[in-house]
């Protein structure tokens, strides 16, 4: 049990709390909610074992599902982005990722934005397709994905900027 483990445990609980207590009740324009709990998946340390990471992401999604009575939609989308994350990391950060030396506080803003955007859009697309579960309502699905993604990305970026530990 080192400080990284503790930091992630605290982050898990805080993000679930934030999501359940505040963000699920925003309902901006009737249906737009940000899902910033995926910051847990986004910021999880890279060096840890992938199996554990996938499992923890599943747990994260399932906890949100428990609170919002949504079956397994959050769990499914969380597991998917957790599994796909190495690919996206390689795409966004290139060689830094190869040497396993990414620190999310110090990477370039552009590639960080790209990384968060890709993960968020994949997550939301799976989330809303499973929630609506109806191919004839694909416009509604895409519409919800688009608007919620914008909201989530902005909040995620803000939170990472506010809580970044920059030592200059």
Residues that bind other proteins (CB under 8 A): 20-21, 24, 27, 30-33, 50-51, 54-55, 58, 61-62, 65-73, 75-76, 79-80, 82-83, 130-134, 137, 140
Q: 83 or 104, CB closer to other proteins?
A: 83
- Three-state SS at 165: coil
Q: Nearest Cα to 60, choosing from 117, 8, 135?
A: 8
Say if residues 137 and 129 touch (Cβ distance below 8 Å). no
Tokens standing for residue 13 = 């609980």
* CB of 72 vs other proteins, minimal distance in Å: 3
Q: Which is nearer to other proteins, 86 or 94 (CB)?
A: 86
Rank residues 113 and 132 by Cβ distance to other proteins and give the closer one. Answer: 132
Taking the complex as a whole, the smallest distance from the CB of residue 109 to other proteins amounts, in Å, to 30
Helix count and strand count (H, E) for the chain: 7, 0
Helix (H, G, I), strand (E, B) or coil at 53: helix
- Which CB atom, from 72 or from 105, has the smaller least distance to other proteins? 72
Min CB(87)–other proteins separation in Å: 12
Dihedral (Cα; 148, 35, 128, 71), 10-degree rounding: -160
79 vs 122, beta carbon nearer other proteins: 79
CA distances from 136 to 71, 129, 140 (A): 21, 11, 9
Shortest CB 15 distance to other proteins, Å: 15
Tokens 């599994």 belong to which residue? 83
Least separation in angstroms between residue 159's CB and other proteins is 21
């Amino acid at each position: 049990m080192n400080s990284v483990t503790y930091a992630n445990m605290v982050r898990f609980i805080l993000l679930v709390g934030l999501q359940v207590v505040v963000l699920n009740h925003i309902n901006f324009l009737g249906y737009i909610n940000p899902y910033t709990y995926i910051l847990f998946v986004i910021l999880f340390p890279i060096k840890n074992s992938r199996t554990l990471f996938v499992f923890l992401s599943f747990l994260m999604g399932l906890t949100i599902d428990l609170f919002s009575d949504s079956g397994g939609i959050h769990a499914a989308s969380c597991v998917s982005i957790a599994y796909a994350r190495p690919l996206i990391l390689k795409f966004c950060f290139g060689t830094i990722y190869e040497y396993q030396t990414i620190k999310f506080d110090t990477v370039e803003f552009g590639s960080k934005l790209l990384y968060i955007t890709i993960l968020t859009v994949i997550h939301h697309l799976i989330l809303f397709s499973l929630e609506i579960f109806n191919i004839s309502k694909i416009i509604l699905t895409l519409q919800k994905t688009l608007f919620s993604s914008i909201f989530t990305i902005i909040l995620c970026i803000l939170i990472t900027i506010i809580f970044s530990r920059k030592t200059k």
